[in-house]
């Protein structure tokens, strides 16, 4: 696949997590609301025709559970890699991970945590569809939120301001 093709990065924050006592942060499970919201996110992706070929998911329990529930709503589950570097990743680390994606992947989905997911969506979007930018600015990046960024080029070329924010969704939109 040529490196000068349109691509999308789907940035997906994990669903609402529980805070059980004595459980390390990495091992926190989804809360009841998270178990309801994650499938809504998957249905939104499917209904929007956003069907990533490749997913990179944080190794944290809440991200893995979110992805399992959301992916179940897609017509076809994309190849998924559980990536330790996505847990507690900051903007620069997230861009490094994206830069390593093989160029045969056209649409990538990242499932991770805030503040990194919000920072990535905001930093990559040099341009924006007006409603999507307004929503990102107004709503922020709550649990189960999704931002879709489009750009043209190779994954190695992803850097600040490279893309266009095409869509922003959160479960309370339903």
pLDDT band at 136 (very low <50, low <70, confident <90, very high): confident
DSSP-derived pairing of the beta strands 163-169 and 125-128: parallel
Residue listed under structure tokens 């900051």? 90
Which tokens hold the place of 136? 């990102």
Say what the pLDDT of residue 3 is: 60
Residue 147, Cβ neighbours under 10 Å: how many? 28
pLDDT band at 127 (very low <50, low <70, confident <90, very high): confident
Is 60 exceeded by the pLDDT of residue 121?
yes
Phi, psi of 104 (to 5 degrees): -80, -5
Helices and strands in the chain: count of H runs, count of E runs: 5, 7
Say what the pLDDT of residue 44 is: 97
15-68 residue pLDDT tens: 999 999 999 999 999 999 999 999 999 999 999 999 999 999 999 999 999 999
Which tokens hold the place of 49? 């025709």
> Domains along the chain?
6-173 (3.40.50.1240)
Q: Which residues of 72-81 are buried (b: 16+ CB within 10 A; e: fewer)?
A: ebbeebbebe
Q: What is the dihedral of CA 131, 135, 137, 138, to 10 degrees?
A: 130
69-119 residue pLDDT tens: 999 999 999 999 999 999 999 999 999 999 999 999 999 999 999 999 999
Sheet holding 79-83, edge to edge: 79-83, 54-58, 107-112, 6-13, 146-152, 163-169, 125-128
């Amino acid at each position: 696949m040529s490196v000068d093709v349109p691509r999308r990065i789907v940035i997906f924050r994990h669903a609402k997590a529980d805070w059980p006592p004595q459980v390390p942060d990495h091992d926190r499970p989804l809360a009841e609301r998270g178990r309801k919201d994650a499938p809504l996110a998957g249905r939104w992706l499917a209904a929007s025709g956003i069907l990533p070929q490749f997913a990179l998911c944080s190794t944290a329990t809440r991200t893995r559970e979110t992805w399992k529930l959301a992916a179940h709503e897609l017509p076809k589950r994309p190849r998924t890699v559980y990536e330790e570097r996505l847990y507690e990743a900051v903007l620069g680390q997230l861009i490094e991970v994206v830069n390593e994606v093989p160029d045969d992947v056209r649409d990538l989905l990242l499932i991770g945590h805030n503040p990194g997911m919000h920072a990535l969506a905001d930093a990559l979007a040099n341009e924006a569809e007006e409603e999507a930018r307004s929503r990102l600015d107004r709503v922020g990046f709550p649990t189960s939120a999704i931002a879709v960024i489009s750009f043209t080029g190779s994954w190695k070329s992803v850097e600040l301001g490279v893309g266009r924010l095409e869509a922003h969704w959160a479960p309370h939109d339903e």
